Amino acid sequence: MTEQQLREEMVQIGASLFSRGYATGSAGNLSLLLPDGNLLATPTGACLGELQAQRLSVVTLQGEWISGDKPSKEVTFHRAVYLHNPACKAIVHLHSHYLTALSCLQGLDPHNWALLQS
């Protein structure tokens, strides 16, 4: 895929995740590795449901901001994942309000997944 096609696909994926309630407001980030080895990422403060292809951030794996809007501070985390695992080509980092609420429950046993299935 070309960089432009990847940008458009990231916008579509962001909109889909947002419309299904997996992200609200500016919570959550997406990134992917471009064919040239740089990182395409959602910008700081961006709502996944309102991404614009031309405003996505491009950053080197060394952390240099190349183009687009200012990258999210989470891009440091994304870079670390890509550098640690070269097989990784994309990252979806979400803060679903359902799981955020679930994580606030007192006494939640993370090893008891039966609760999550009900």
How far does Cα 34 stand from its chain's mean position?
A: 15
**Which residues are CB-contacts of 99 (< 8 A; sequence separation ≥ 6)?**
none
pLDDT given for residue 102 in this prediction:
73
pLDDT tens digits, 33-77: 999 999 999 999 999 999 999 999 999 999 999 999 999 999 999
Tell me the CATH number at 31. Answer: 3.40.225.10
User: How far from 116 is each of 19, 44, 49, 85, CA to CA, in Å?
Assistant: 22, 31, 26, 29
pTM recorded for the entire structure: 0.82
Domain that holds residue 68: 3-117
How far does Cα 58 stand from its chain's mean position?
A: 14
**Number of structural domains found in the chain:** 1
Cα(103)–Cα(101) distance, integer angstroms: 5
Give me the active site residues, please: 74
